[in-house]
Amino acid sequence: MGNSSTFLRTGLKMSCFSFLKTMMFVFNGIIFLGGTAVLGIGIWVKVDGGSFLKILGSAAPQLMQVVNVGYLCIAVGGFLILMGFLGCCGAVKESRCMLMLFFIIILIIFIAEITGAVVVLAFSSLSHIFIEYLGSVAVKYLKNEYGGANELTTVWNTTMKELKCCGFHGYEDFNNSTYYRDHGEYPPVCCSYASPCQRYNISSEVKGCLKAFEGFLSQNGKIVGGVALGISALELAAMIVALVLFCQIGNK
């Protein structure tokens, strides 16, 4: 009877171990394939950016002005490939070293996320100081440099178009600006591309990008929080599985 009970416990333990290995392999296999796809897109963008932008323009015109997509995709893809490789090989080869390295990297990311959340909550009372500083920098840029052939202008145009906003505090940020003096009008995006974009063409519903962003957060805060909680749960699950496999391999 005792031998049967021991045999049953051993069988259950082996079944659980095999299940965790399979889940670790499948989960990280998906991450690895996703990273490979993202890396491939990044390389394609850098090698043949013209055709990529042509396809992107037909599929999602609002993303045409996104800059440095290639470098971002290469960095993200490389990181995902590394994580997928460590997780898959660590599970299949039963490598304690790979599993521990995988665990440590996920733990560092998790701690960084928690630290960031704590800092934001702890210093929320100082957020207005940061916003004032950010606003002064943004307004200075909009008055002196907006409209040039630079990446920040592209980012501002994309932001104002997507959030349907104008300037940081409002369209007044462009008063007496270099752009207004050179063109005799406000940026076309502030008037939904009505021409000429003068003050009388700017709708009262067009707010500054700070107000528009605050409105976006208030409307989508639950979604953002849910996504953040989901990512944290996945990270915790990945760490637990990696640690359990690490311990089980050590006990063999």
Specify the higher pLDDT residue, 7 or 76: 76
**pTM, rounded to two decimals:** 0.60
Distances in Å between the Cα of 107 and the Cα atoms of 18, 102, 118, 121, 163 are: 24, 9, 16, 21, 35
Asked if 9 and 95 sit in the same domain, the reply is yes
Asked if 231 and 172 sit in the same domain, the reply is no
Asked if 6 and 117 sit in the same domain, the reply is yes
Asked if 89 and 136 sit in the same domain, the reply is no
State how many domains the chain has. Answer: 2
Q: What is the CATH number of the domain that holds 203?
A: 1.10.1450.10
Contact 139, 179 (CB under 8 A): no
The whole-angstrom separation of Cα 41 and Cα 119 is 35
- Boundaries of domain holding 63: 2-125+218-251
Asked if 86 and 185 sit in the same domain, the reply is no
Predicted pLDDT at 64 = 45
Asked if 77 and 196 sit in the same domain, the reply is no
Asked if 110 and 145 sit in the same domain, the reply is no
Predicted pLDDT at 52 = 52
3 has pLDDT over 60: no
Asked if 159 and 233 sit in the same domain, the reply is no
Chain segment 108-150, per-residue pLDDT in tens: 888 888 887 776 666 655 566 777 788 888 889 899 888 876 7
Chain segment 186-216, per-residue pLDDT in tens: 998 888 766 788 888 888 888 898 888 888 7
Asked if 177 and 198 sit in the same domain, the reply is yes
Which helix (H) or strand (E) is 165 found in, with range?
none
Chain segment 14-73, per-residue pLDDT in tens: 677 788 888 888 888 888 888 888 888 778 777 765 555 555 554 444 444 444 567 777
157 has pLDDT over 80: yes
8 has pLDDT over 60: no
